[in-house]
Chains A and B, each alone.
Chain A
Amino acid sequence: MIELIAALQPLVVGAVLLWSARVKLLSRHAAATVDRSALVRLVGHSRALPAYRLLGGFELTLGGLLLLPPAQPWEAVAAAALAAGFLGYLGYARRVAPTSSCGCLSTQTAPVSGRSLGRAGLLIAAAGLAASAGGGWFTALTARPTGGTVVLLVELAAVVALSPELDRNWLLPLRQLRMRITHPLRGTSGVPLLATVQQLQRSDAYRQVSPLLRSDVREHWDDDGWRFVGHAARYQGRPATAVFAVPLADPEPTSVRVAVVDEATGQTLISLAGAPPAAGPHLTVVPA
């Protein structure tokens, strides 16, 4: 079994290298991907894109050599050295520029994580195994097609699972599906306080008393279809309480009422009911 696995490693490593080279050489977003990577820190801004393309060319050559016969052990050794270089680079990126993106197998932004390091380690192991293999991968695969296919699928699945930049293509859709089935945020009912605050802030009453308000919302309570919202206020030098009454069932700002009350004496200093819409021509703005 171990011979079969070893014989198939050039195919795995070669396929990953070709995929990686495709991103580096053919992607239209390569320049932006480089800008987000730690390569800029490593070789400087002007040399980052040529270095990225050069690496892509190297990956293409090595990947092609690994896939095409004849199988030579030095190809696998070179691939192991390249993967070790990746591991070193990712370790450097994680230490020096932790917010930088990997830029490895996709143009998607994905910071270097433990998974990226694990993937580089997996490639080193695969390339090391490939160096010990005797024959070519094609002969091994035709000799044991079922076992070979299973090995290949498991390994490619491992590479994909260890690639944070590919999550968007398989992991997020799976999680979306789970969410669609289980409805974990079924939601609560009722009018949230923010909706009340938004309504009262658009009201004429609020516009008129807002210069008196000193504090954010201090308290709120519901009673008989109304929600009352209290702010600390100051009126003619004396502390007061501004209390807004907002109907829970009517979202119109015009139905908001307000009173400014001196709590020490119980006296109502100001009291405004919702003003009816102004007569005459007016512009109706409908939310899109």
Chain B
Amino acid sequence: MNQTLDRRRLLATAALGGMVGATGLGSLAPDAAFAAEASAIEPGLPDPNFAEGRISKISGNMLLVTGSDTVLHSIRVTDGTSIWKLRPTTFDRVATGDGLYARGVRLPDGTLAADSVWVNIVNVHGHITSVGRNVLHLDHKGQRIVAHVVPQVSAAVYNGAPAVSDLSLLRVGRHVQVLGAWHPDTNEIDIATVYAAA
């Protein structure tokens, strides 16, 4: 706990203590310091640095994932991997049976060293058919989806404006797009962001 606090204090001090354009390592010529590494993806082939599927086994820091095209992926989660499961979270919250999207670097042995993992992420379009206490019932092409509002997490974007935490402008019958986290093997999701017109 203290370690976390000390670490965060170090990072916060670094972020707030800065001067415009200052760097600890001399000049910051954009082309030299910030040149992005060129990606080498063959046109027409699957992106080697991306994987998706359901987690069939977790061993150590490796995730064994079965893709929806039945391709098996080994995904290595490192200290630098970001893990999203409705919110930025930690590796211990990832469970067998979860679905995921992962992006990273494919190593020579075929494993994907993940930079970012999004667990159970879904992107759903639908109509709001009814609204209950902190729950939206969505009609997605005739199928019912139950979308739960998670206090302090769920956000709404109305008309493309900056996100707010007030979801009360949503209306029954309107079209919405929901980014959220699926409850595996159910028709229920937790809402991360709901996009709507207001």
Interface residues of A (CB under 8 A from B): 98-99, 111, 113, 168, 172, 175-176, 179, 183-195, 198-199, 208-209, 211-212, 214-221, 223, 226, 228, 230-232, 235-236, 239, 241, 243-245, 251, 257-259, 261, 263, 266-273, 275, 287
Contact = CB atoms under 8 A, between A and B. Distances in A.
A110 B17 CA distance: 59
B74 interface: no
Place the interface of chain B in its size category: 35 or more
Contacts of A223: 8, 12
Contact of A245 (B16, B82, B118): B16
A45 to B, nearest CB: 21
Contacts of A220: 88
Contacts of B21: 272
B163 interface: yes
B44 interface: no
A272 B116 contact: no
A231 B80 CA distance: 8
Nearest to B135: A184
A200 to B, nearest CB: 11
A208 B34 CA distance: 8
B43 to A, nearest CB: 23
Interface of B: 7-8, 10-12, 14-25, 28, 30, 33-36, 80-84, 87-88, 115-116, 118, 129-135, 141-142, 149, 151-155, 157, 160-168, 170-173, 192-193
A269 B142 contact: no
Given A185-B167, A188-B151, A271 B17 contact: yes
Given A218-B83, A261-B10, A273-B20, 12 more contacts: A99-B142, A175-B172, A187-B167, A208-B28, A211-B36, A216-B88, A219-B88, A226-B12, A243-B15, A269-B25, A271-B18, A275-B20
A185 B164 contact: no
Nearest to A251: B162
Nearest to A246: B15
B80 to A, nearest CB: 4
Contact of A194 (B131, B155, B171): B155
29 contacts: A99-B141, A172-B129, A175-B129, A184-B135, A185-B134, A185-B168, A186-B168, A187-B166, A188-B152, A188-B154, A189-B165, A194-B157, A208-B28, A208-B30, A211-B34, A216-B82, A216-B115, A218-B83, A228-B12, A245-B16, A261-B11, A263-B7, A266-B10, A268-B14, A270-B24, A271-B15, A272-B20, A273-B19, A287-B161
